[in-house]
Amino acid sequence: MPKPHPIPPVCRIRAAWISRAAKARIWIFLVFCALCLGLGEQYPFSNFPMYSNMEDHTYLLYITDENGQPIPLMTAYGMRTSILKKFFHTEARKIAKKSGKSMSTMDPQAFEPAGQAAIGRILSYRNDLNPELHPWKEIHLVHLDIRLGAGGLNRTHTRIATRVL
Amino acid sequence: MNRLPAWFRPVNVRYEWWEEWVMRLAFAALLVRGMPEVTHFTGQPVPNGLAHWMDFTFLSDPAVVLWLRWIYGAMIGLYVLGIWRMLSLPVLAAVLVSYGTLGNSQGAINHITQIFVLVVLGQMVSAWHSGLWLRRRITDKSEYRRQANDNLIHATLQVMAAVYVVSGLTKLINSGGEWIWSVPNLAVQFAKNLDMAYYNTLQTPEGGTVAVIAWIAEWPNAARLLFGTGLVLELFAFLALLRREWAALMGLSLLLMHATISHIMHLGFFYNKILLLVFFINIPFWIVCVARRIANRQESGTRRPAIAPESGAL
């Protein structure tokens, strides 16, 4: 009677693959691919989702003063508009989740609490900025929707939050 | 393996001592950029990664950061000297991961430093693998050092390739395989980036973004072909692990892709570009390779291999 092999067939196949990966010196490549895809956005690992799901619409946020004049966010508060959007998006997603709707189908004004939180972040982002450089009395957060239509790009500006300073 | 054409046969690339030094110094320069600074983040409102279990706000304490700077600087010194990597790389990785985790725990995840910190982690894994396993297999000290150095560089290439392949796979997964079909929607993303750059400083950014948006609208299939090439490049970045020629070719192509995106979308890709230049393209090797080839031809008038075959160049 033949002696049973000490390693089960499935394990033998796996061991062969591991051995091949080691010989081909790609085991670090395989491990890092698995970790990045498996863990997703857990720094320093990431599945790099930027521009992975492109829709025909997007949005950004900017701030204006009480007269509706845009304020240069980076120059005035040291924050990039991309960071502002990410702050806002994190809060807005929670609101959308609570209401059980998709963010893109909701009225931007429904995100007023997220807008207020985002303005709070702007004001506390840097503590080394000179307040005298900020003569405005109000900050308005504006949602700029960009959509690709038949006639090209359409932009819609909606004020979603105001903070009196 | 032998049935494969020569260009697709993997080569166990041996790096020359001066190549390894150039790469080590260039990477050390990147490490210096990550020198600890007092951060203005005093909380972790949306924890990410290790911030779920650890509080990294100690990085806003000047006294702690002063100590960290000394330790981090000393570890860079060890890294440059090529000694005690099993100690230096974990410390460097721990500091860099701490800063990145705190920054990404503010509610806004960015993808600026991931490739660099992942390379540090990859080098750390390679250093530990060499120290614990390779040392037992290779008794000759100089051969061990050379193999450990080669493995460290190859680990860097593997991590970089993994980053690009994962990025390509995510595009396919998240779009349900229809990424190339949805390329014309990139016009919306380009417009968003242009507007974002404007609202940062109220200065109209330079570059040909407006023309590119118009071009995409007019020639959607040409845009699919062009940007689809970028996706293919990402998915096949692992070819760089086969041999030097593939590494240089993929490096140049990916660098061109980043430069194009930087021009259109105003995104930096600093670490990607430098790492591609240093490790994938490896300019010093190709300069020496060409110079030796010319010198050999002038000497003998015949075609002889100008560089050792195990160096990995055809």
The secondary structure of B247-296 as a DSSP string is HHHHHHHHHHHHHHHHHHH----HHHHHHIIIIII-HHHHHHHHHHHHHH
ipTM: 0.88
Identify the band that residue A100 occupies on the pLDDT scale cut at 50, 70 and 90.
confident
State CA B301 to chain mean position distance: 40
Q: Would you say residue A87 has pLDDT above 80?
A: yes
Structure confidence at residue B53 (pLDDT)? 94
- For residue B90 the two structure tokens come to 């974990």
- Which of A31, A43, A55, A79 to mutate: most B Cβ within 10 Å? A43
A69 part of contact set with chain B, CB < 8 Å:
no
CB crowding A79-97: b at 16 or more within 10 Å, else e: bbbbbbbbbbbbbbeebbe
DSSP 8-state class, residue A24: T
Cβ contact B215:B209 at 8 Å: no
- For residue B80 the two structure tokens come to 């440059």
CB crowding A131-155: b at 16 or more within 10 Å, else e: eeeeeeeebbbbbbebbbeeeebee
Distances (CA, A) of B212 to A131, B194, B205, B209: 39, 11, 14, 5
Asked whether the CA dihedral B199, B204, B206, B211 is positive or negative, the reply is positive
What whole-number distance in Å separates Cα of residue B291 and Cα of residue B297?
Answer: 10
Give mean pLDDT, residues A71-100. 88
Check: pTM over 0.95? Answer yes or no: no
Coil vs helix vs strand at B46? strand
Which residues 6+ apart lie within 8 Å of A137 measured at CB? A65, A66, A164, A165
Write out pLDDT tens, residues B87-129: 999 999 999 999 999 998 887 788 889 999 999 999 999 999 9
Q: Would you say residue B7 has pLDDT above 60?
A: yes
Cβ contact B236:B169 at 8 Å: no
Which chain B residue is nearest to residue A122, measuring alpha carbons? Answer: B106
Q: Which of these ranges, A126-135, B16-25, B156-165, has the smallest mean pLDDT? A: A126-135
What whole-number distance in Å separates Cα of residue B111 and Cα of residue B123?
Answer: 20
**What order do you get walking across the sheet with A70-71 strand by strand?**
A70-71, A57-64, A138-149, A152-164
What whole-number distance in Å separates Cα of residue B256 and Cα of residue B261?
Answer: 9
Structure confidence at residue A129 (pLDDT)? 66
Identify the band that residue A25 occupies on the pLDDT scale cut at 50, 70 and 90.
confident
- Per CB-CB distance under 8 Å, the chain A contacts of B167 are 47-48, 50
Which chain A residue is nearest to residue B52, measuring alpha carbons? Answer: A42
The residue behind tokens 């689809």 is B228
Structure confidence at residue A8 (pLDDT)? 61
Interchain contact, B170 vs A25, CB within 8 Å: no
The residue behind tokens 């600074």 is B37
Q: Would you say residue B287 has pLDDT above 60?
A: yes
Dmax (CA) of chain A: 92
Q: Which of residues 84-123 of A touch B (CB under 8 A)?
A: 85-87, 90-91, 121
Interchain contact, B118 vs A43, CB within 8 Å: no
Amino acid making up residue A77 = Y
- Per CB-CB distance under 8 Å, the chain A contacts of B174 are 49, 52-53
- The beta-carbon neighbor of A44 closest among B46, B117, B155 is B117
